[in-house]
Amino acid sequence: MTVRVVERPQRTLAVQIYLIEVWKGLYITFRHFFVNMARHAMIALGMKGVTPGSVTIQYPEDPAVLGKRARTRHRLLKRDDGAPRCTACLLCETICPAKCIRITAEDAPDVRVEKRAKTFSIDLGMCIFCGYCVEACPVDAIHMDANDVEIASYSRRDMIWTMPQLLGDEPR
């Protein structure tokens, strides 16, 4: 067994004088300060194409910037003929760890799908946004890509989204 000697960084005299290092740090912060000030000033004067002086997103006024693969509110998809893709197989309801999906099934007029959802509701107040429902769905009927994160409401009942709402047929 060998002993590995870890090289510790040595504090040279230049570091121990401290002033040089302080100046290096101040150089960075002063540079940021003046560059950002210049950018703020140029934007305030109405110049176009200037890099913004800050990376802050003023959220409620400006829209939230979501990642491309952000997992947001659920959305039910439709087939080409406009009927919901959901075949009421209840796999999503079964796998849901938060038990927030409620589906009631009925006979479908279309013989190829046998069953369809009569009601399909998701209680977003209980949903933990794990995405299992999307993974479980065999017919690609549910996605979590509505890019909608402002789903808060004033009552628990209002947190339940019904099938037409999830399909986008009925506005909320």
Partner 1 sequence: MTPFAPEMLLWSLVKVGFALSFAMSIAGLLGWVERKQSAIMQDRIGANRAGIFGITILGLFHPIADAIKMMTKEDFVAKGVLKPFHALAPMISLGCGLFCLAAMPFGGTVTVLGRAWSLQPIESSVGLPLVLAALGLGVHGIVMAGYASGSNYGLLGALRGASQMIASEVCLVSSLAGALFLYGTLDLQQAVVWQATHAWGIVLQPLGFLLFLTAGAAVTKRTPFDLPEGESEIVGYHVEYSGMKFGMFLMTDLIESIVICCLVTTLYLGGWAIPFLDLQAMGLLGGVLMVAGFTVKVGLLIFLLMQVRWTLPRFRFDQLLDLGWKNMLPLSLLNFIVTVWGVYLWQ
The residue range among 50-58, 87-95, 113-121, 145-153 that interacts with partner 1, by the rule CB under 8 A, is 50-58
Rounded least distance, CB 28 to partner 1, Å: 8
First to last CA, the chain: 69
* Residue 105 bridge partners (DSSP): 117
Return the amino acid letter for 87. Answer: T
Rounded least distance, CB 32 to partner 1, Å: 5
Which residue in the set 11, 15, 20, 25 belongs to the binding site for partner 1 (CB under 8 A)? Answer: 25
Q: Are 90 and 102 in contact (CB under 8 A)?
A: no
Rounded least distance, CB 91 to partner 1, Å: 46
CA 116/CA 87 separation, integer angstroms: 4
Rounded least distance, CB 153 to partner 1, Å: 25
Scanning the chain, the segments in alpha helix (DSSP H) are 13-17, 19-44, 91-95, 132-136, 163-167
Contact flag: residue 10 with partner 1 (CB under 8 A): no
The residue range among 18-26, 109-117, 130-138, 161-169 that interacts with partner 1, by the rule CB under 8 A, is 18-26
Phi, psi of 100, deg, nearest 5: -105, 0
List residues binding partner 1 (CB under 8 A).
Answer: 18-19, 22, 25-26, 28-30, 32-33, 36-37, 40, 53-56, 58
